[in-house]
Structures are given as structure tokens and as C-alpha cells.
Amino acid sequence: MSKDLEPAALDQWYVIESSEDLRSDQPRRTRLLGRPILGERSASGTVTIEERTEEGETLRKLPCLERYGYVWTTLGAPVKPLFDMPEFEEDGRRLVVCGVLTVRTSPGRIVENFLDLSHFPFVHTDILGAEPMTEVTPYKAKLDESSGELWVTECGFYQPQAMAASSGAAQVDYLYRVPQPYAAVLYKSSPGKAGAFDLIGIFPQPLEETLCDVHCFMLVYDDVSSYEGMLQWQQGIFLQDRIILENQRPARLPLDPKAELPSRADTSAIQYRRWLKNLGVEFGVA
Ligand SMILES: [Fe+2]
């Protein structure tokens, strides 16, 4: 077995594959927190997940569940059930499973970047932002003590093409939910339903400390876009993020406030790092 891992990393739920891609004829041989993992679906549909040795021998069976279009497991003993997303029960939404993108950085860098509004005009130019509208208006980032989740609220941004279904530029309301250290969901004004929010979520699967498979979904009110069109829109954005993420140094997320001031002096980044430090996260941080 590889090095000891701290409970804060072990006791989270992690996606290892989308439900549609874990087929009975296609096992998933992967890694989680530096350990070999095998996910399999039987012909009758039952999923089993094992932790294995580097030589491919079974070490133990792991907990597994299927939810939100994904297969989840844990290497530890989560104190809480997998976070609830009641939006998945709402009529009229479409789920888009956006596939997996491998990114050579830590899960913390990936989540922090996901929470960062200020990069939109420069990285997602003419899609999620545009010059000269580069100002990030004041917003709130706060740990919700009752749920133990980080919430970033009251965000707004001018976006040329906020979603695949957008017909033009709009001022878009945002909020972010980080239900566990290495999972994040954003809610943004839906162009398909007035007053409602579309969801975009990322579930980084840390293969190693600075190597992740990022699983991404959208849950949207959109009757006009093709599935393929929505997929391409989202994948294009994540490919832009990957270039930025893989150039950040150090790849591990620095938690010592003196080590690196977030370059964007970002409230959400400061709160996120403080939260990871207080939880005792060591995997993938510096
Ligand atoms: Fe981005």
C-alpha cells in the first residue's frame, strides 16, 4: 500500500467514471489518491469497485454508489452521505455528462480555478467574459457551519455567451457550492428558464497529488441545443482552463497564507485554502 493518507482526503466521495461509460464490457482501471482502483459492472448491472496492489491483486472491496450520472467510491469512511443535489429531481432539466479531461495539476488548483471569476475575460474571451468588462463585483465566500460546505454567493458577471443556449450577451448571476473539498458546483442564470439556475459541476478524481481526471456535468434547462453542441461548448471551456492550470506553480495548492498570495487576491481562493487547511487536507497541497 502506498503512503498513509489523512482522513480529510480519504473520507471524501470520489467519482471514478460516468455511469454510461462504465459498461459491462469495459472495466475502468484507474487510480485514486495514488492507489490502483478497478471498477467493473456485471452483466446484470451491479457495480463493484476494488482497491488493488500495483501488481493488480485485489486488496479490498470499496463502497460504491451510482448517483447524478456517475459512479462514486471512497477509500475511507465518510462521516456524511454523498452530498444531496435536489436539482436532479427537477422536471425539465437535461443532464449532460461532459466526459473526462486529464489535467496535470492538483485537485485543489482545479477547484480554486473553477471558483475564480476574474479569469473569464482573459481565458474564456468572448464566451464567459470580454474586455473591457473585467471587473469582479464584490461577492461573498463563506463556510456554512451547519452543512460544513463552502458557498460563494452574490457573484455577477457580464458574459458574451454564458451558456450553449445563450442568444446574446447578458449579465449573469452566479453562485458556487463546494460540498466537499474536491467537488464543486456552480449555479448560473439559465437562458432556458427565467428565474432558474443551470448547474455545472466538476468532480476531480485525484489520480496522484498533481494529476487528476476531471469529470464534468451540466444540468440545464435547454430545449434548443443539441447534446453534442452542449458537450462541445463545455469541453472548449475546460480545454482553455487546462492550459492555465498546467502552468500554475507549484502544482500543489499552497495553503500557507504567506507562501503565495493568490495572484487575483480572490476572496473565494482565500476562503477555500483556509477551509482545506482547517480540515487537515494534505493530499495535493503545499
Ligand atoms: Fe475557467
- In CATH, the number for domain 7-73 is 2.20.25.680
CB 2 within 8 A of CB 208: no
* Mean pLDDT score, 226-243: 93
Q: Are 152 and 140 in contact (CB under 8 A)?
A: yes
Residues near 1 by beta carbon (within 8 Å), at least 6 away in sequence: 35, 53, 59
C-alpha span between 89 and 85 (Å, rounded): 8
pTM tops 0.85, yes or no: yes
Whether the Cβ atoms of residue 260 and residue 251 lie closer than 8 Å to each other = no
Straight-line distance from the first to the last Cα atom of the chain, in angstroms, rounded to the nearest whole number: 23
- pLDDT tens digits, 26-35: 999 999 999 9
- Cα(87) to centroid(ligand 1), Å: 23
Q: Residue 259's pLDDT is what?
A: 67
Task: Dump pLDDT digits (tens) for 19-64.
Answer: 999 999 999 999 999 999 999 999 999 999 999 999 999 999 999 9
Name the pairing type of β-strands 140-144 and 94-103. unpaired
Query: 100 C-alpha to center of ligand 1: Å?
Result: 16
**DSSP H or E segment with residue 32:** strand 28-32
Query: What is the percent of the chain with per-residue pLDDT over 70, rounded to a whole number?
Result: 97
**Cα of 126 from ligand 1 centre, angstroms:** 13
φ, ψ (nearest 5 deg) of residue 179: -75, -20
Q: How far apart are CA 131 and CA 78, in angstroms?
A: 44
Domain layout of the chain by residue ranges? 7-73, 92-279
What are the tens digits of pLDDT across the range 157-208?
A: 888 888 888 888 888 899 999 999 999 999 999 999 999 999 999 999 999 9
Q: Classify domain 92-279 by CATH number.
A: 3.90.380.10
CA–centroid distance, 28 to ligand 1, in Å, is 28
Q: How far is the CA of 120 from the centre of ligand 1 (A)?
A: 6
Say yes or no: do domains 7-73 and 92-279 share a fold: no
Interval between CA 113 and ligand 1 midpoint (Å): 6
